[in-house]
Structure 1
Amino acid sequence: MDVLLKYIAGVLVVLATLLLALIYGLYWYGLRGIPEQLPQAQRAYSEPLRQLYWTLEVGGTGPIEVRPSNPVGFVIDTLTEPNGNTRALAGRLLRDRVASHLQMRLLPQRRRISLWHLTNAALSIRLSRERSGEQLIDYALEQASFGIDENGAPVRGIDAAAKRYFAQPVEALQTRELIALLVAMRGKSHDPACEPGRFARRYALLVDSAGLALDALRPPANMRIGVCRPRS
């Protein structure tokens, strides 16, 4: 009996070792082609703007937090749901969103679905260990698309969006104006010129979620909406 138990224990150890080797092997394979130094935001945004993004865009509560992960922990997290833990869910969403953008930027040719998901998972793990939640939000705000300008060219980054829609630097904008930019960040489907109704409904929802008094469904009066133009 003792020999049998030792044999079973030995088999379990070997299987666990092989499983760990497989998980970590897939992690390093997923990072194949990813540079050692990942792109990062070129500036830091204000804490109120970061908090708005954290609360309204990814559904976070409380302080901004992205928990460091590892290949084994990532697998466990994927197979389990953090019941009621909105901060953990928001951290995952933020991490995965930035990972997807980085993958499209660094490896646009990696199209096979299985490899895409593997690389996305590996990048998510790496980002959780190398970037804080604040740094991830800064990158997301700096790289996001905010519709198109008067010439039909894409508006990239919240700094450019603040000048496009309000003719002011982002630091000078009030909360309602920042919320309007977060709605415009959703792309053509919420462009205030092309989809005014959808933009207004989303804007009203976010204003209410932020705890502000909703005077009207219309966007801020000083927002330069322009006309709907096709992307050039």
Structure 2
Amino acid sequence: MDVLLKRVATTLAIIGGLFLLLLQSTYWYGAYGLPDSLPSPAREYPESARKLLWANAGGSGEIRIQRFSSIGIPLKSIGEDSRSLLEWQIGISDDDHRLPDRSDPGLRLLHQAAFDIAYSITAAANPQPPVAANEGGSNAQMLQQIKMPRPFMEQAVASRLSREWPAERVIDSILENNYYGRGAKGLDQAARTYFDLPVEQLSLAETAALIAISRNFSYYDPSCKPREFARAYQRLMLKTDDRVNLRDPDADLSRMKRTPCERRN
């Protein structure tokens, strides 16, 4: 019996070692060719905007992003995916016993920043630039046109970001690369597009409106999807310490330029 247990333990140890070696190999495969310095945001954004994006990702309190080793992010992701699967199964069987959402907001932000940075790196290496988001294409469509090992690169970029960048710079990168609709890429351009103001002159409510839109412009377009936009805006504002006008959310957004819906068929 002891011999059998030792064999089983040895086999499991070998399998575990090979699994970790596989994860390490995928990291180096994705990291190959990355620049010494990852593309940084061109500017710093107001702390209020950073906190809103942090709250929008599910974070609370101080903005913090965990440092990950080269295999830490895939291991963490596997754990969170397993937890989500368990929550889904429990939710199917008993809606009264759903698990609370414990997913890591810092990890979500790392993945989002890494997605944009991986695109910028691969797009720079592509001799024929794909359709830009502000010309009607999405980030996903742009990346589909680039034939590179993107998922592995994204994991490697996310891992490096967690170790090389402070949390505030990760968030600034997302604010700068998000698409806000109406041809606006980046929070500052969005502020001028929707309010004719630089981002520093926006109120907390106005900044929250732009963050809500950036979640998915096609679904939270204030011109074409006013109800969905209002709900997303109110949910985000409720996560702040600011007073929220639930009866008339438009009262806090009186400076927003309203345009007719121009949804493409």
Per the shorter chain, which TM-score range? 0.7 to 0.9
Q: What's 1:137 paired with?
A: 171
Q: What's 2:30 paired with?
A: 30
Q: What's 2:186 paired with?
A: 157
Matched, 1:228 2:261: yes
Match among 234, 249, 254 for residue 217 of structure 1: 249
Amino acid at match of 1:195: K
User: Taking CA–CA contacts closer than 8 Å with sequence separation of 6 or more, which of the two structures ends up with the larger relative contact order?
Assistant: 2
Unaligned runs of 5+ in 1: 1-5, 149-153
Residues 15 and 202 of structure 1: CA distance in aligned 2, closer, same or farther (over 3 Å): closer
Select between 69-78 and 6-15 the one with higher mean Cα deviation. 6-15
Matched, 1:190 2:229: no
5 Å-filtered alignment, 1:12-23, equals 18-23=18-23
SS, match of residue 181 in structure 2: strand
Q: What's 1:96 paired with?
A: 111
Q: What's 1:175 paired with?
A: 204
Amino acid at match of 2:117: L
Query: Any idea what the Cα deviations from partners look like across 1:79-115, whole Å, max 9, x if unmatched?
Result: 32499785x7000000001111122222245557xx4
Amino acid at match of 2:162: S
Q: State how far apart, in whole Å, the 1-side matches of 2:218 and 2:171 are.
A: 21
Question: TM-score with structure 2 length normalisation?
Answer: 0.71
* Alignment size in residue pairs: 222
Residues 205 and 17 of structure 1: CA distance in aligned 2, closer, same or farther (over 3 Å): closer
Unaligned runs of 5+ in 2: 1-5, 84-98, 123-142
Q: State how far apart, in whole Å, the 2-side matches of 1:31 and 1:176 are.
A: 39
Q: State how far apart, in whole Å, the 1-side matches of 2:230 and 2:8 are.
A: 64
Question: TM-score with structure 1 length normalisation?
Answer: 0.80
SS, match of residue 66 in structure 1: coil
Mapped contact 2:74–2:155 kept (Cα < 8 A): no
Select between 131-140 and 197-206 the one with higher mean Cα deviation. 197-206
Q: State how far apart, in whole Å, the 2-side matches of 1:18 and 1:204 are.
A: 48
- Displaced runs of 4+ in structure 1, greater than 4 A? 6-20, 82-86, 109-112
Residues 25 and 199 of structure 1: CA distance in aligned 2, closer, same or farther (over 3 Å): same
Query: Any idea what the Cα deviations from partners look like across 1:164-213, whole Å, max 9, x if unmatched?
Result: 11111111111111111112223122111122222122222222232423
Q: What's 1:66 paired with?
A: 65
